[in-house]
Amino acid sequence: MTGQSRSATTAPLLDVCDLHVEFDTAEGLVLAVDGVSLAVHAGEALGVVGESGSGKSVMALALMGLLPTPPARIRAQHNRLGGIDLLRLDPAGLTRVRGRQVGFVFQDPLAALNPVIRIGRQIGEVVEFHRGASRQDADRAAIEWLARVGIAAPSEVARAYPHQLSGGMRQRSLIAMALAGEPELLIADEPTTALDVTVQAQIVALIRQLCDELRMALIWISHDFGVVAGLADRVAVMRSGKIVETAPVRELYSAPKEPYTRELVALARSNAIERAHRT
């Protein structure tokens, strides 16, 4: 990403203040996100890093109103996207925001894609709903988006069902669907976890390129600091539902302040050395 500096007076695209997420369970109330505040500016890439169970994915789903309530309980001082407080929107309003202003790439594309609808039609429906295109134009746009995300035979893939594609192809198709509404912000929740190392690198490079081309903001959620370090402008480190440290990526990588952040950085460096030796 660009990493360009931004004026302190520039309003962020996404501005979240004091977000809490709790779940009603048989054992009682569980606090999953504990007072998270963050901001993302237009064109900026924010990495959110932490171990499994730190609250990263729950936070992202809560931001977009994708958690069922109940059992979830969500509260915050505000959760503004482009000046609109998403907490005050009804379900129809949130549906208009999701896809048009925010695209979401889930960790498991096979679960996120509809198994009984062809890939091209799923992408085309996004274009119809959010861009007001006719069905014919939307289906044509779906093929164009599949080509744009690096699929070599986009017309064939458009006619395929999700189970007929490889994991990497499904993830690229899901990225195409997330981008088809031409959103201002893309949220990617561990989108490379289930892929092999080579495909992971391809997906990271693809999203970086598309965000630059489309001038989109990005929130990339991961447990792998090494991936985020090569992608983000800033990094927020989460642990036990809290953000414990936030800094520009180079600053955080070279001089982490929190012991937990130092552990993540050390692990990323060790993994990088191991990968270099294997190649």
Domains and CATH numbers, the chain: 14-101+183-278 (3.40.50.300)
The pLDDT of residue 1 = 55
The answer on pLDDT for 83 being more than 60 is yes
Residue 60 has pLDDT above 50, yes or no: yes
26 φ, ψ (degrees, to nearest 5): -65, -25
Beta strands in the chain (DSSP E): 14-25, 28-40, 45-49, 72-75, 78-81, 84-85, 102-105, 185-189, 217-222, 234-239, 242-248
The pTM for the full model equals 0.90
Q: What is the pLDDT of residues 91-133, one digit of tens each?
A: 999 999 999 999 999 888 888 999 999 999 999 999 999 999 9
Residues 42 and 211 sit within 8 Å (Cβ to Cβ) = no
Share of the chain above pLDDT 90, in %: 68
What are the tens digits of pLDDT across the range 240-262?
A: 999 999 999 999 989 999 999 99
Q: Is the pLDDT of residue 239 over 50?
A: yes
What tens digit of pLDDT does each residue of 125-172 get? Answer: 999 999 999 999 999 999 999 999 999 999 999 999 999 999 899 999
Which of 127, 150, 154, 152 has its CA nearest to residue 138?
127
Mean pLDDT to the nearest integer, 40-53: 94
Dig out the tokens for 32 from the structure: 């999953």
> Could you tell me which residues come within 8 angstroms of residue 245 by beta carbon, excluding any fewer than 6 positions away?
236, 237, 252, 256, 257, 258, 260, 261
- The burial class, CB within 10 Å (0-12 / 13-18 / 19+), for 199 is middle
Interhelix angle 119-131/135-148, rounded to 10 degrees, is 120
Q: How confident is the model at residue 5 (pLDDT cuts 50, 70, 90)?
A: very low
Q: Distance (Å, rounded) from C-alpha 233 to C-alpha 95? A: 29
Integer angstrom CA distances of residue 21 from 27, 57, 71, 84: 16, 11, 10, 20
